[in-house]
């Protein structure tokens, strides 16, 4: 496999995935399509359902990716509801919820569901980047980038990291598994 489709309506996600997977010799075609996302407690469930729904509509091999920001002090909120929360209260709203909160640990998760054939279940690959919620909006980027500080390299938000985000991000950690799998021809782990 040296070419596959990424179904997403988010151009930032596509651009990051394109760059990450090119390191593994994988070429990614963008299918800009909206698909239904169920409400569930885990990103894995949401991604599996969406991948099944897309079978027969998009030609395999293709993948989708569902991401979420899980904030410890908020018991994992917004998690699978990250998209809705970003659209409604946004970064200023998250920072307001975290006002005066000392414990700022959070993890950004990525779940990739790969469909290689319509008669096979999607392969689920996950990636996690631990970090913390910044106390102010810092740097550019998109989405939660300016408020999430990954532990590595430390002290900088995704937004301040710029291109270096793709060396440590949750998306990189999930997609490198896809890249290594495609390169080796072995079963994904
Ligand atoms: P899809 O079409 O691929 O579903 P989406 O924008 O709905 O694109 P997700 O549901 O995966 O993406 O992401 C949930 C929210 O988390 C979304 O609103 C983004 O703003 C945010 N997000 C996801 N990945 C991010 C990243 O790498 N940096 C900053 N914010 C991110």
Task: Output the tens digit of pLDDT for each of the chain's 189 residues.
Answer: 789 999 999 999 999 999 999 999 999 999 999 998 899 999 999 999 999 999 999 999 999 999 999 999 999 999 999 999 999 999 999 999 999 999 999 999 999 999 999 999 999 999 999 999 999 999 999 999 999 999 999 999 999 999 999 999 999 999 999 999 988 875 554
124 DSSP β-pair partners: 113
Q: Which two tokens stand for residue 145?
A: 């980038």
User: Can you name the residues that pair with 4 across neighbouring β-strands?
Assistant: 28
Whose CA is closest to 144, among 95, 96, 187, 86?
Answer: 86
Query: Which residues lie closer than 8 Å to 161 by C-beta, 6 or more apart?
Result: 139, 150, 153, 168
Query: Is 29 tagged catalytic?
Result: no
Q: What is the pTM of this model?
A: 0.96
Ligand 1 neighbour 14 (Cβ under 6 A): no
Which residue's CA is the closest to the ligand 1 atom numbered 3?
8
Give the contacts of 86 (CB within 8 A, at least 6 positions apart).
Answer: 78, 143, 144
Atom of ligand 1 nearest to the CA of 69: 16
Tallying the residues shown for the chain, one arrives at: 189
């Amino acid at each position: 496999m040296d070419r596959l489709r990424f179904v997403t309506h988010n151009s930032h996600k596509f651009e990051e995935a394109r760059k990450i997977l090119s390191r593994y010799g994988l070429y990614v075609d963008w299918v800009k399509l909206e698909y239904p996302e169920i409400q569930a407690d885990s990103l894995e469930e949401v991604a599996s359902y969406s991948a099944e729904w897309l079978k027969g509509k998009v030609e395999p091999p293709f993948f989708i990716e569902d991401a979420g920001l899980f904030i410890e002090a908020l018991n994992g909120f917004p998690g699978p509801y990250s998209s809705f929360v970003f659209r409604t209260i946004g970064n200023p709203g998250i920072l307001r919820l975290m006002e005066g909160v000392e414990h700022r640990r959070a993890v950004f998760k990525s779940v990739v569901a790969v469909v290689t054939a319509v008669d096979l279940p999607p392969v689920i690959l996950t990636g996690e980047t631990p970090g913390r919620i910044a106390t102010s909006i810092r740097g550019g980027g998109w989405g939660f980038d300016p408020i999430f500080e990954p532990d590595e390299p430390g002290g900088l938000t995704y937004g301040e990291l710029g291109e270096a985000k793709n060396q440590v991000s949750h998306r990189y950690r999930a997609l490198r598994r896809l890249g290594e799998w495609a390169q080796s021809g072995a079963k994904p782990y």
